[in-house]
Amino acid sequence: MQVSFACTDHGLKAPRNGEHNKQNATSPNSTSQARARFRTVALIARSLGSFTHRYHHNLKESTAKLTGMKYRNLGKSGLRVSCLGLGTWVTFGGQISDEVAEQLMTIAYESGVNLFDTAEVYSGGKAEIILGNIIKKKCWRRSSLVITTKLYWGGKAETERGLNRKHIIEGLKGSLQRMQLEYVDVVFANRPDSNTPMEEIVRAMTHVINQGMSMYWGTSRWSAMEIMEAYSVARQFNLIPPVCEQAEYHFFQRDKVETQLPELYHKIGVGVVSWSPLACGIITGKYENGVPESSRASMKPYQWLREKIMSEDGRKQQAKLKELAHIAEKLGCTLPQLAIAWCLRNEGVSSVLLGSSSPSQLTENLGAIQVIPKMTAGIASEVDHILENCPHSKKDYHH
């Protein structure tokens, strides 16, 4: 791992012509002292596994001139991703038609979104097929896209699931075939696998990257301890560590992203790609008066969501959402836009995945970009006061 430092004025900068004798006369030990300080800082940085980049602060966030989309580094890797991405869970190959899926991807792409996320398990592989067909039909430059997929559940056979070397390699090959792609940009290990040694997982992920099947790898729904173990194994055996974690993050799910992952972000460079910013639709406000027949919670496979909404906690959440709606009104935005912008206030969040099922919903959600500058520390404090669930050990990570 490389650690870069820019030379400072503390004796490390080369003297201009004519100044050399003057410097030696006034402070003969300045150079040796500066070198000693440099060695001390370097040793500390190496012990922390620090990712200090000389120009990272200039690239932390940039804005596309034409669309207004903002881009961030994926964790502390060099990959630039749109701060809003499009997820394909329960929509592509499921709730919506192929035509609507194409409309959604087109709206997203033309709005500056470059991150499109899927998984081998989504709609039994259909989501990857639809995603690939749209990319091919639209003739979008592959180099302008960041395509991510997740591995774990690939099929019914015992050898078609898990994170063992066999399934990581075969599963990713299957995903690439369905998407008609030569590679993905990030492959995620979708949940930890207690049946497979961590070294095997990290070695397999390193292999698919070295073979050109993926550019990076990440984790999904892993604990901070599991991510740290993967990083430690990678460092021990000179393998490739994960660059980010996919984690659920919204008004009512905060602890992991706000207390556990920031330390990993600052120490080893692991960022967050968050999902479900609207809590499976709960934050849209459509469940304020019960469960509408046309909603996801009314479907049989989502009985768990219905029970969650109708529970005592669910009713309390709806009451809090009514109060939060007043903040959204004050900012001139919708409640979903406030919720998405709130997620993006965290510097460790590289991108928030949207799960829109209609063009109008996606357009509204993309409007959250305009709300980000309004998410001041004061507004965040108002939100915290209403939610009453601010993690105790949370630090201030507002921009």
Distance CA 207, CA 187 (A): 12
Q: What does the block give as tokens for 298?
A: 């009314």
Exposure on the CB side of residue 222, measured as CA atoms within 13 A = 32
Q: What are the beta bridge partners of residue 248?
A: 275
Q: Is 231 a catalytic residue?
A: no
Q: What does the block give as tokens for 366?
A: 């993309």
CA dihedral 251, 263, 88, 250 (to 10 degrees): 0
Q: Mark residue 338 as left, alpha or beta (left: phi above 0; alpha: psi -120 to 50; beta: remaining).
A: alpha
CA angle 31, 37, 43 (to 5 degrees): 135
Q: Which residue has the tokens 């809003």?
A: 84
Q: What are the beta bridge partners of residue 190?
A: 220
Among 71, 122, 216, 231, the one annotated catalytic = 122
Q: Read off the amino acid at residue 192.
A: P
Distance CA 375, CA 15 (A): 45
Active site residues: 122
